[in-house]
Amino acid sequence: MNTPRHSRPKGTLDFVPPVADELRHLEYVAARLSTRFGFREIVTPVFEHTDVFTKSSGDASDIVTKEMYSFKDRGERDLTLRPEGTPGVVRAVLENRLRIPVRLYYFGPYFRFGRPQKGRFREFRQYGVEAIGEASPYVDAEIVLLGDEFFRTLGISDCTTELNSIGCRACRPGYRKELVAFLYAHKDELCEDCRERMDRNPLRVFDCKNEGCREVVADAPKTAGHLCDDCADHYDGVKRALDRMKVSYGINDRLVRGLDYYNRTVFEYISSRLGAQDSLGGGGRYDYLVEDLGGPPTPSSGFALGIDRTMMAMPEKPPLPEGTQPPRESLAYVVWMGEEELKHAVELAAKLRAEGVATRVDFDAARPKRQFRSADAAGAACCVIVGPDELAKGVYSLKDLATGEQEEVPVNMIVPRVRALFR
């Protein structure tokens, strides 16, 4: 074969057979798991108006200042190839007036200019989820659980989860002031990039790979020690929820995210299979982004996982199942009455999902009436009711939302009964 006259642009990949089949398999797994957690797919444009990203990611972030592919079209409009997924999804939710709360998942190519290296490309693919309109720490934990199950399903057994809280707009200014003072005291020991970040985006110094900078920030103030009471309570709630869901995690009090919109919970998935670029992806809570893009105050949480990196970390490629698109699945809603019943609701949701049943729990609505409204808004097929009377009798109440019929089902029979209802 003659030497080709053309080659792909630097920092991009070709997915030729059978690699493309492996890519579709990975997306198939992600879509099936997302559906089981009550997420529905959204597809947004590959490019957006530039201010969607400058308003959300932060005009001092590395993404905006160094990495975006921006251009003017023939109408002199400022446009940018999307460097990440969340701002475009939030823009679409607001513009299309989707009913909130809403859970969405997505796949797609994203673009950032940087020095290509193993696991780092200028065009890369992500799988993301966004839970928009949900404030409970259980939601953060459930999103962490979804990512953990995704990697384990693909056989990445060494994947570990790191967790931290970076506070909110009420408590972070005090921490930022103390951190900047610390960095100025060690200014001469930092690299040029970190010296630039000290004033405009000081938390980004924790992401620096320079060994000298890493040694300096090892003694820097910790975010967890500066949390307000509400943020500390939320962080404790996330950890308790992860413990109840039996998700293993480690605390990394140096973990931050490179985007300005994050607050409170942040997390990252790590695999040693990738070498220095060891992150498979991550996410966290962003309670201000919807409002910053022109919507009402709306608590939200999500993640973005690197598809290319995940494929590199997979120990072996499972066979492609028939079909590359997940079938639409009916949704079950677990309705709970109080804190004691919530524990059983979380366990029941895990059992239903393990059997392939798409399941959601409304953690924010303490009143059953609101939970039933959420189930109706999500298009659920049935509700499984976990109340003190049911637990005392060893049953759950199963309500068919299409017919309105309700029956009591023994605890050990609820999963097959729900599956039978869906069939």
Q: Looking at 59-63, 257-261, 393-397, which range is the least confident one?
A: 59-63
Q: Report residue 152's pLDDT band, with 50, 70 and 90 as the boundaries.
A: very high
Q: Report residue 160's pLDDT band, with 50, 70 and 90 as the boundaries.
A: very high
Checking phi first, is residue 404 left (phi over 0); if not, alpha (psi -120 to 50) or beta? left
Q: Report residue 191's pLDDT band, with 50, 70 and 90 as the boundaries.
A: confident
Per-residue pLDDT tens digits for 10-27? 998 988 888 888 899 899
How many Å apart are CA 377 and CA 28, to the nearest integer? 26
How many Å apart are CA 88 and CA 46, to the nearest integer? 9
Q: Looking at 123-137, 164-178, 279-293, 387-401, which range is the least confident one?
A: 164-178
DSSP structure string for 340-392: HHHHHHHHHHHHHHHTT-EEEE-SS--SHHHHHHHHHHTT-SEEEEE-HHHHH
Q: Is the pLDDT of residue 114 over 90?
A: no
How many Å apart are CA 97 and CA 212, to the nearest integer? 48
Q: Is the pLDDT of residue 199 over 90?
A: no
**Token pair of 405, please?**
């019929």
What's the pLDDT score for residue 250?
A: 96
How many Å apart are CA 410 and CA 423, to the nearest integer? 20
CA 108 vs CA 30, 64, 180, 313, 336: distances in Å: 13, 20, 37, 19, 36
CA 64 vs CA 81, 356, 411: distances in Å: 12, 41, 53
**Token pair of 97, please?**
């007036």
Q: Is the pLDDT of residue 325 over 50?
A: no
Q: Report residue 59's pLDDT band, with 50, 70 and 90 as the boundaries.
A: low
Per-residue pLDDT tens digits for 218-239? 888 888 788 999 999 999 999 9
pTM: 0.89
Q: Which residue has the tokens 């060690």?
A: 186
What's the pLDDT score for residue 1?
A: 56
What's the pLDDT score for residue 190?
A: 85
Top-confidence residue, 227 or 212: 227
Strands 300-306 and 358-361: unpaired
Strands 123-132 and 160-165: unpaired
SS percent in the chain: helix, strand, coil, step 5: 40, 20, 35
Is 331-422 a CATH 3.40.50.800 domain? yes
What's the pLDDT score for residue 258?
A: 63
Q: Is the pLDDT of residue 211 over 70?
A: yes
Per-residue pLDDT tens digits for 231-289? 999 999 999 999 999 999 999 988 887 667 899 999 999 998 877 678 999 999 999 99
Per-residue pLDDT tens digits for 330-383? 899 999 999 999 999 999 999 999 998 999 999 999 899 999 999 998 989 999
Q: Which amino acid is at 102?
A: V
How many Å apart are CA 26 and CA 203, to the nearest integer? 33
Average pLDDT on 30-49 reads 96
What CATH fold (topology level) applies to the domain 19-170+227-313?
BirA Bifunctional Protein; domain 2 (3.30.930)
What's the pLDDT score for residue 329?
A: 61
Q: Would you say 65 and 260 are in contact if contact means Cβ atoms under 8 Å apart?
A: no
Domain borders along the chain are 19-170+227-313, 172-217, 331-422
Q: Is the pLDDT of residue 309 over 70?
A: yes
